[in-house]
Amino acid sequence: MIVCDVGSDSAGEGEADSVAAHAAVRIVDDLDGSNGAKTVAFALDGAGYEINLSSKNANALHQAFAPFVAAGRRVGSSRVTGAERARQYNKGRSVRELADAHGRSYGFVHQVLAESGVALRGRGGANRGKAGKK
């Protein structure tokens, strides 16, 4: 959990009317609510997860996974970047194909492509009108 504490300091008597604001962001452990957490990412069964954990809880997670990691095979990064999705899209894959291939929603892939500056094709894309033509 991320907590944002916002405060303000008002001008005293005889001072100009001004308000100074300050904000402090704290990352709080998602399990026990302790301060000083950092985000830990992991994947299980093809799904990626992030959780904010204190050092103590992060170590517990690492220890719990350790025997499975030691016995398992590394298959590469589970992350697919926006640039990789854009490259695949520009080579002719549809938003729907990318979503299905990477276990993401159509809307998520569409948003990542748009934020990456990709010129999105119209409905049907590169394959529009090809079906049934001889």
Is 105 found in the same domain as 48? no
User: Residue 124: inside a domain, yes or no?
Assistant: no
Euclidean distance between CA atoms 46 and 39, whole angstroms:
19
User: Residue 132: inside a domain, yes or no?
Assistant: no
Is 65 found in the same domain as 101? no
Q: What is the pTM of this model?
A: 0.45
Euclidean distance between CA atoms 35 and 26, whole angstroms:
7
User: Residue 86: inside a domain, yes or no?
Assistant: yes
- Total domains present in the chain: 2
The confidence band for 104, taking pLDDT boundaries of 50, 70 and 90, is confident
Over the stretch 9-62, which tens digit does the pLDDT of each residue have?
Answer: 555 555 555 667 777 778 889 999 998 888 888 888 877 788 899 999 999 999
- Provide the domain limits for residue 57: 2-10+19-71
Q: What is the CATH number of the domain that holds 42?
A: 3.30.60.230
Is 66 found in the same domain as 28? yes
> How far, rounded to the nearest angstrom, does the alpha carbon of residue 81 sit from its chain's CA centroid?
10
With contact defined as beta carbons under 8 Å apart, do 1 and 52 qualify? yes
